[in-house]
Amino acid sequence: MTKKNKPEEAVEQVAEATPPKERTTRKKANLDINPAHLKQVAETALPKERATRKKMNLDVNPVYLNRELSLLAFNRRVLSQAEQHHIPLLERLRYLCIASNNLDEFFEVRIASLLASGRADGLTDDSPALIEALQLTSVECHQLVDRQYSILNKEVLPQLSANGIHLLSDGNRSEAQRSWVKSFFEQEIRPLLTPIGLDPAHPFPQVVNKSLNFIVEMSGKNAFGRHTSIAIIKVPRVLPRVIRMPDSLSPHGISFCLLSSIIHAHIHELFSGREVLSYSQFRVTRNSDLWVDEEEVKNLRQALQSELQSRQFGVAVRLEVAKNSPAHLSDFLLNQFAIAPNRLYAVDGPVNLVRLSEMIDQISQPNLRFPPFAQGHPAYLTSSTAEDIFSQLKKRDILLHHPFQSFQPVVDFILSAAHCPDVLAIKQTIYRTGMNSDLMEALIFAAKRGKEVTVIVELMARFDEEANINWADKLERAGAQVVYGVVGLKTHAKLALVIRRERDKDGLGMLCYYAHLGTGNYHPNTTKLYTDFGLLTANQKLAMEVNEVFMHLTSLTKPKKMDYLWLAPFALQKEIIRAIQNETEIAKQGHPAHIIAKMNALLDESVIRALYAASAEGVKIDLIVRGACALRPGVPGLSENIKVRSIIGRFLEHTRIYYFRNKLQNDVYLASADWMNRNLFRRIEVAFPVLDKTLKKRVIEEGLSFYMKDNTDAWELHSDGNWRKCKPRTRQAAFNAQQHLMALLGAESKTHL
């Protein structure tokens, strides 16, 4: 059993559990937290959380919020968007799909990781340590799933129906519609189904990760006189999950039916001569992390290509069945997949809500969607010619704020380099880029033209491995030098470099460096959906340091000391903590000190401790954290000067910004890294300064100030670990940061930044 600790015992455990080397480092850096503060937190700040965990027989950590619960809280905020009546109806359905997809990934990665780490330590699902970790998430996950289907069935689908969009079950279809569905089943579905009756010669089939399947129970004997009561139907992924019915059969709007609903209606026809007693659709979620022994493999790409095939059959971590599934069938499946009962989800609808996005794509009613938005484009970039882009960069750095401003100038930058006869080399990192990419085609074109093209492709970018492998192959065939980063470290930095031969004022030849540094991926789709900053620069010192990063990644030599870039895993965490401690010292001297940071996740304990120490000395700290946050704000004596908020809006917040007041020098860094241990020590990441004062002002205003002012899409984190939605105060005007940026930077704006 887990030992229950008094607050002072918990304090001692925190200190003793810290590894000796880290304790020494923290002592030198003065990052240890006053035990009295911990005791105060445990005794007074957390009554609700302490009561909840006491019911679950779990201890309260007075310092850090739980990572898994924080991730689920983020998903609850996303799900909340589906409940907002001011949001167009199809967008509310899309938020349901996003929340469902997030939960899928939570099981595929986080729950799978908990189970895998437990098994690596010799634990089983019955081990107290694993029970404690899984209990923290089980109740919340079940509540989230129940809420998802409640919103779908009680709000979204009825309102869609009122707008002439009908998702029809068999009981709601007219006779003419049933006749059409029967014909569709016979012609399009049945020929592709292969029911498998289970017996010694027909063992339980391999079930693919997150695929649609049915379990069927039958009476009597099979055609060979044997008692075989259970059959499995695997539904091929080539079949559409949402089918639009002919408009001639939908006089009152548009009608759809789910593939699962059609199979439900005709499942008896698959077992002639047998009586179907009961059945249920089901879906299994599996561990989707890829693993290769990077120390042993000779060719990482070939090893990954093989491993991708096995991803579909990783360890099962969750089972979803229909709400009316008989208990004995659910128990049979749980036993078959070795899944604990608390990871069974009986859902009131289709087992995969993500598939409803197929319905969204088939509906054209603009009043049910967000109003169309046209991205802005800097006025001085009127052409994509080589001379234009490079001459413009000679005059000024160019800051692009996506998706409010188009990503096209970045594509034009690489296209111009590929066509320019004076460009000698192009170097770029690729983490996610998608299956179709003009930018990748430009690199291939440049390589074929004989330019020195070096591309660092991260093959281990989760769920983008296949696309990246394909691009790596195409680039190599075109003559590019393709490198797969550093063994054991993901290359997550967003960098592109162009080296061009130019002539100085005396007519002598020289090499000039141009760079793009960003917070987001080189992906044509996400640049329209994710908020990110990108900087195009001809600053030679900064661009030459970008080249040093590429030299480090290709040669595997130790990087040179850099004056501008903060590079992980070597210096990024150290520089972040140094900047935090600098603000702390400024506050100790009685001067105003302020830190603002925006990121996707805040989990690194050393950084959090540095922030706690800064808060205790009076540094004002504002954090904008989209997802998981382990820091506990607003605790007297520990974090009373720290505020944490999260923005959930039309676009996915993805920007990483670090701001330090530093006696009004207003240091601003943009980065590819969140403040997580994996980003700071297990990835190649880069944080880069914004040096131009005008652009620095833009980043502070557009990326931070507007988001601190938001009172419609913002949530605030309280010391008890709960998030609360912000609302305009009495007589306060509503302000939405994303909408304001769309008006400020979009194509219709009069601003040309």
Q: Which residue has the tokens 């002012």?
A: 709
CA distance 668 to 661: 9
CA distance 384 to 292: 42
Q: Is the dihedral of CA 316, 318, 323, 329 positive or negative?
A: positive
CA distance 119 to 126: 11
Closest among 210, 209, 72, 76 to 138, alpha carbons compared: 72
Instruction: Determine the longest span between alpha carbons in the chain, in angstroms.
Output: 96
- How many angstroms separate the Cα of 487 from the Cα of each of 484, 490, 527? 8, 8, 28
Verify whether residue 492 is a known catalytic residue.
yes
CA distance 549 to 583: 28
Neighbours of 367 (CB within 10 A): 9
Query: 530-561: string of b/e by CB count within 10 Å (b at 16+)?
Result: bbbbbbbbbbeebbbbbbbbbebbeeeeebee
Kind plus residue range of the DSSP H or E element containing 587: helix 572-588
Annotated binding residues for ATP, written as ranges, equal 102, 530, 626, 654
Kind plus residue range of the DSSP H or E element containing 68: helix 67-81
- How many angstroms separate the Cα of 382 from the Cα of each of 319, 386, 387, 741? 54, 12, 12, 22
**Entry field: residues in the chain:** 753
CA distance 189 to 389: 53
Burial class (CB in 10 A: 0-12, 13-18, 19+), 749: middle
Q: Could you say which DSSP state residue 713 is in?
A: S
Q: Report which residue type is found at 37.
A: H
Q: Could you say which DSSP state residue 637 is in?
A: T
Annotated binding residues, written as ranges, equal 102, 432, 462, 530, 626, 654
Q: Is 584 helix (H, G, I), strand (E, B) or coil?
A: helix
Burial class (CB in 10 A: 0-12, 13-18, 19+), 253: middle
Q: Is 367 helix (H, G, I), strand (E, B) or coil?
A: helix
Kind plus residue range of the DSSP H or E element containing 518: strand 509-518
Q: Which two tokens stand for residue 418?
A: 């590929």
Beta strand pairing status for 452-457 and 423-430? Answer: parallel
Q: What is the distance of C-alpha 87 from the center of its chain?
A: 22
Residues 6+ apart with CB under 8 A from 63: 14, 33, 38, 41, 608, 632
Neighbours of 728 (CB within 10 A): 11
- How many angstroms separate the Cα of 576 from the Cα of each of 301, 385, 571, 572, 628? 34, 39, 9, 6, 19
> Is the Cβ–Cβ distance between 316 and 209 less than 8 Å?
no
Q: Which two tokens stand for residue 148?
A: 């998802």
Q: Report which residue type is found at 571.
A: A
The active-site residue out of 266, 402, 492, 516 is: 492
CA distance 96 to 213: 22
- How many angstroms separate the Cα of 546 from the Cα of each of 130, 656, 680? 44, 18, 18
Beta strand pairing status for 344-347 and 316-322? Answer: parallel
Q: Which two tokens stand for residue 349?
A: 């609808």
Q: Which two tokens stand for residue 338?
A: 């070795």
Q: Which two tokens stand for residue 733?
A: 């005007």
Query: 649-665: string of b/e by CB count within 10 Å (b at 16+)?
Result: bbbbbbbbbbbbbeeee
Q: Could you say which DSSP state residue 732 is in?
A: P
Annotated binding residues for Mg(2+), written as ranges, equal 432, 462
**Residues annotated catalytic, as ranges:** 492
